[in-house]
Each structure stands twice: as C-alpha cells, then as structure tokens.
Amino acid sequence: MIDAHHHFWRFREEEYGWMDASMKILQRDFLPEHLEPELAKAGVEGTVLVQARQLKEETESLLKLAEKYPWIRGVVGWVDLCSELIGEHLQDFAPHPKLVGFRHVVHDEADDDFMLRKDFQRGIAALGDFNLAYDLLIFPQHLGRARKLVAGFPQQTFVLDHLGKPEIRSGSLQPWKGELEKLAAYPGVYCKLSGMVTEANWKHWTYEDFECYMETVLQAFGPERLMLGSDWPVCRLAGEYEEVLAIPLRFIQKLSREEQAFIRHKTATHCYQLQTEIYGEEEI
C-alpha cells in the first residue's frame, strides 16, 4: 500500500501561518520517527511526501529526508513556477531520483485565475521538460480554471489533491460534482482519495458523510486514476492515521482485487513513476 499524500515539518510559527488557533494540535514537529509506527500499524510500505511550505528550502529538506528513509518513495516539492529562471531551478532539482513533482498552494492565492497566468503556465510547461507531475491544490471554485489549465497541456500529468476539497461539512455536491466530472474527462488528471475528514465536521463525522463524494470520483476517474492519501498530520485535526485511511479502504472493498490494487498502490506508482518494487496481489 502507498500513502500518496503526507507531510513533515519542524514547526516554526512564522513559516506555517496557515495554522490558525483552531489547529493547535499541529503546532509541533512531525517527522519520520513519528509516522513510522503509524505506517507499520496500517500496513503502508511506501509514501509520497508533499510540501507544506512555499520555500525552495522546503524541497531541499524533503529530498534529504527521502534519501535517509527508503519508504519515502517520492517527493512533491515546491518551486517558484512563475520565476523567469524556472528552467534553471528545475535543472538543479530534477536529477534527484525521488523528486516526482511540484505543487503550489493555489487556493491561498488572492487571484482565482492564478493558474491561468502566463508566467505560471510557463512554469507548467517547464515541468513537462523534466517529466514531473503537478499537484492541484484547489477549492471547488477553481475546478473550471484547472480544466482550462489542463486543456493547454495534454501531455502533462496532473494530480488533484483532496478531491478538490468538496464542501463535505454541508453535504453539498454541486457545483463541485459537475466541475470535477469535466476535469476528469482529461486522461492526464489523477485524483487522491485524501483530505476528506478536514472538510467534514472535525468532531462528528461518520463514514457515510464521505460515500457520495468517493462514489463521484470513482465514477469520474475510475480506479486506474485514483490513489490513497492520508494527509497526515493535517488529518489529525479530525482523525488519527489508521482511522482516516480506513475510510477509502472500506469504500473500495466493493471493487475487484485488480481495481483495489490500482487504488492501493498501482496508480500512485505509475502516476508519480515511483522507484519501488512491484507489489503482489496477495497483499490485497
């Protein structure tokens, strides 16, 4: 099993301004030694480590961790995609065998059309030169913009984080569902079954709160373009590691063994081109 989305950090308040007063539980260090026991309990053999700060140093530090811990199979880092020197920056990072992609926190940008800026799209084009994926971290109102971005780069691999953050707390499906289905029509877009508990009521969620959203992405993307993600330690706002992963694992029990294998590890391995062994079907 591959956990395709988690974070690490050494907490410094000035570098994690997105952690407000309601997130005290996150305001401490979260490092590999804290996650390893959780991986063992849940039966997770490999992970994709994702950026949490928009600093070049973030990518450098995550890659150093990946060198030290073999179970970190890939790193989605951050780089200034709008920089005129983007090609040089990518040249510096690209040789690292565990660098698999980059991400920008688009949903925090004041401009909802940020993804459609020429300088940003120049950065996306540069990713293609190095065969690197791009993770879409967006809100539902950005899905239409994401579709326009994806349409311009048919050879680029895109990964939608956290289902595009539907409004699970309110139980609302539209307009998220319609926009997500349009985005999923592009074959180069993948989706992570991640980040759901923090979009629900943190204290009073149930498995049933998530079923219609998981069913929507399953029908839109199919198992071959879905992957698991814990969003640890952010998920701890609403649930612990094993119980959060149990949500999609329960949902996919209705699928065939082969379909489950895609969601459990094959999709992430293929999408991110992870350096990992091939897992046997007996692990399902």
pLDDT band at 276 (very low <50, low <70, confident <90, very high): low
Task: Specify the pLDDT at position 282.
Answer: 40
Output the six-digit token pair for 163.
Answer: 């289902």
* pLDDT (mean) for 94-106: 96
Q: Edge-to-edge strands of the sheet including 133-136?
A: 2-6, 46-50, 72-77, 99-104, 133-136, 158-160, 189-193, 226-228
Q: Is residue 238 part of a domain?
A: yes
In this predicted structure, what is the pLDDT of residue 15?
80
Find the CATH number of the domain harbouring 8.
3.20.20.140
Residue 47 pLDDT greater than 80, yes or no: yes
| Residue 254 dihedral angles phi and psi, to the nearest 5° | -75, -10
Among 118-122, 126-130, 272-276, the least confident range: 272-276
Contact criterion met (CB below 8 Å) for 128 and 118: no
Q: What is the pLDDT of residues 201-221, one digit of tens each?
A: 999 999 999 999 999 999 999
Give the integer Cα–Cα distance in Å for 260 and 19: 34
128-145 mean pLDDT: 97
Asked if residue 188 is part of any domain, the answer here is yes
> Does residue 234 belong to any structural domain of this protein?
yes
Would you say residue 133 lies in a domain?
A: yes
Task: Please say if the pLDDT value at position 192 is more than 90.
Answer: yes
66: containing domain? 2-279
Give 203's DSSP letter.
S
The token pair at 30 is 């979260």
Between residues 110 and 280, which one has the greater pLDDT? Answer: 110
pLDDT tens sequence across 248-263: 999 999 999 999 999 9
Peptide bond into 70 cis (omega under 30): no
Token pair recorded at residue 33: 């030694």
- Evaluate whether residue 284 is within a structural domain: no
Q: Is the peptide bond before 175 cis (omega within 30 degrees of 0)?
A: yes
Residue 275 lies in a domain: yes
Cα separations (Å) of 169 from 131, 201, 207, 248? 37, 5, 13, 17
Paired strand residues for 2: 46
How many independent structural domains does the chain possess?
Answer: 1
In angstroms, the Cα distances linking 139 to 23, 28, 53, 105, 185 are 20, 26, 18, 10, 18
Asked if residue 26 belongs to a domain, the reply is yes
Could you tell me the CA-to-CA distances from 6 to 19, 48, 50 in Å, in that order? 16, 7, 6
